[in-house]
Chain A
Amino acid sequence: MHSTWGWPAVESLHFLGLSLLIGTVGVFDLRMIGLAKGIPMSALHKLVPWGIGGYTLNVLTGAMFVTSAPDQYLFNPAFQTKLALMAIAGINVLVFYRVAFAAVKLAGADDSAQLAAKVAAVISLSCWIGVIVCGRLITVFRPPYYWCFWC
């Protein structure tokens, strides 16, 4: 990781993984929010495994960053916020599949998603955008030169 090209190569994979997540889970969320009616939500959901692939890639590449320079991450408020948002997104996934997915799966091509699914979609999209923002800000809040209210 500390070789000349190790870090930027893994960073590129990490960005590819987040694009996969936005392109599949994010696009599914956009449809539930109300964009692109005419596309059945159940059909669009078939892209989600690619997003899980992107997520897995990012957990692996993310772990490579953290284990290579733990002090730069564990004490970094941007990284801590990122983990918290990932936890919220994770709980949101569990609640979504338990509460709202059955109706989404049965909905017609032009149907709106039910309120529960819409709320889950807004939470999901907000969390993942927040995760990208925090990820990009990790380099700004490098310990020990930073400030935040809980630091």
Chain B
Amino acid sequence: MDYLLWLEATSFSIWMRESGVAFFSTLVFHSVAMGFVVGIHIAMNLRILGCAPGVPLSLMTRFFPVLWVNLVVVSISGAFLLASYPTKAFTNPVFYIKLAAVAAALFITWNLTKGVLRDPVHDTVRAPRRARVLAALSLLLWAGAITSGRLLAYTHNKLLASDPF
């Protein structure tokens, strides 16, 4: 608990909690950027699963710059939120479920980028079964990340390590 006590007593953590605007504006950035991260994944996965077959699959990566920018915003804002209430997140198993879901989903994206998205042969034919299974799994993982993220506001046992109870 020592490092949590130290982290929540840093001036940045206190400012995040008490400035009145910092916390909520960070939440706004986190939500909007998460919408884009999940959204672009939905578009890519729907295309792999066979929707909008006229879209050349390999060109879906042209939306990835928007994905990367938003992933950076999600990570930085997430780190800020974590610094605001470190105990709230680190003592909640749901937080680790969310991180694991995001990590697994991004691993799948990396895998698809190396495979089916790289080869223009898949532009006009149906994606292989393995890619379709991974795309479906990615959609489920993002739904899990959203749900566990939302649950973080409801499932924490302890808000701050310095709380007496």
Task: Tell me the complex Cα distance, A83–B66, Å.
Answer: 27
A19 with B35: CB separation less than 8 A: yes
Task: Tell me the complex Cα distance, A42–B53, Å.
Answer: 11
Q: What are the 4 A-B residue pairs with the smallest beta carbon separation, nearest first?
A: A43-B54, A22-B39, A23-B39, A23-B42
Given contact pairs A19-B38, A27-B39, A39-B55, A140 touches B24 in the complex (Cβ within 8 A): yes
Given contact pairs A20-B42, A23-B42, A44-B55, A132 touches B31 in the complex (Cβ within 8 A): yes
Q: Residue B32 at the A interface, CB < 8 A? A: yes
B150 with A43: CB separation less than 8 A: no
Residue of B41, B62, B154 near A8 (CB, 8 A) is B154
Within residues 124 to 162 of chain B, which ones have a CB less than 8 A from any CB in chain A? Answer: 142-143, 146-147, 149-151, 153-154
Query: Interface residue count for B (Cβ, 8 Å)?
Result: 37
B residues near A, CB below 8 A?
24, 27-28, 31-32, 34-36, 38-43, 46-47, 51-56, 59-60, 62-63, 65-66, 142-143, 146-147, 149-151, 153-154
B66 with A35: CB separation less than 8 A: yes
A24 with B24: CB separation less than 8 A: no
Within residues 3 to 29 of chain A, which ones have a CB less than 8 A from any CB in chain B? Answer: 7-9, 11-12, 15-16, 18-24, 26-27
A9 contact set on B, CB distance < 8 A = 147
> How would you classify the secondary structure of chain A's contact residues: helix, strand, loop or mixed?
helix
Residue of B24, B46, B47, B150 near A12 (CB, 8 A) is B150
A22 with B52: CB separation less than 8 A: no
A129 with B41: CB separation less than 8 A: no
Residue of A23, A38, A50 near B38 (CB, 8 A) is A23
Q: Residue A103 at the B interface, CB < 8 A? A: no
Q: Residue A30 at the B interface, CB < 8 A? A: yes
26 contacts between A and B (CB under 8 A): A12-B147, A12-B150, A12-B151, A19-B38, A19-B42, A20-B42, A21-B39, A22-B35, A23-B40, A23-B42, A24-B43, A27-B63, A30-B63, A35-B63, A36-B59, A36-B62, A38-B59, A38-B62, A40-B55, A47-B43, A47-B55, A50-B46, A50-B51, A133-B31, A133-B32, A136-B28
